[in-house]
Amino acid sequence: MEDCIFCRIIKGEIPCSKVYENEHVLAFLDLNPAAPGHTLVVPKKHAATLLELEPGTGDALLQAMRRIGHAQLQVAGAEGFNCLQNNFPASGQEVMHLHWHVIPRRAGDRLIDPWKQTKYASMDQMNAMAEKLGSTIGR
Ligand code: AMP
């Protein structure tokens, strides 16, 4: 897509600090890292969100994240890493080209606040939600 910043990076029109590339995937450092080594992993074929991801590309993305996470453990001082992905602005997505954040973590760094855990009012309510989601997927 012409006006997509990540498509322009993939085409080489905008520079990036490339970490990894293969036929389907490009990975480069985030300009505003949560920690040094914070890497973005993007499919080369434009998809705005996970809902548009071309079938067959998921494994290439996952394998790239595995390799980057492994490298962060080896050379970025990481003791762990998060793979995070936002879909639509309501979730925090700012760049509308599907991407995963691979973020190096250290114990106690508190870089990312965990979500606030809640409870369903009852097991019936929980099972009704599972049923509603499951039957929608089945359609
Ligand atoms: P998100 O909020 O999940 O859409 O994340 C978008 C991320 O892209 C942010 O963390 C930005 O810092 C990062 N970003 C935006 N433009 C660039 C760029 N040209 N090069 C590297 N990272 C970028």
17 lines ligand 1 (CB under 6 A): no
**From the CB of residue 59, how many other CB atoms can be counted at a distance below 10 Å?**
9
Q: Which atom of ligand 1 is nearest to the CA of 38?
A: 10
Which fold would CATH assign to domain 5-111? HIT family, subunit A (3.30.428)
Fill in the amino acid letter for 119: K
Residue-by-residue pLDDT tens, the chain, 139 positions:
889 999 999 999 999 999 999 999 999 999 999 999 999 999 999 999 999 999 999 999 999 999 999 999 999 899 999 999 999 999 999 999 999 999 999 999 999 888 899 999 999 999 999 999 999 998 5
| pTM score, whole prediction | 0.95
> What is the domain partition of the chain in residue ranges?
5-111
Residue among 24, 38, 99, 101 flagged as catalytic: 99
89 lines ligand 1 (CB under 6 A): no
Q: Residue 38 catalytic?
A: no
**Residue 49 CA, distance from chain mean position:** 10
3-state helix, strand, coil in the chain (%, to 5): 35, 20, 50
Query: Tokens in use for 62?
Result: 């996952």
> Any residues with CB less than 8 A from the CB of 122 and at least 6 apart, and which?
none
- 102 DSSP 8-state letter: E
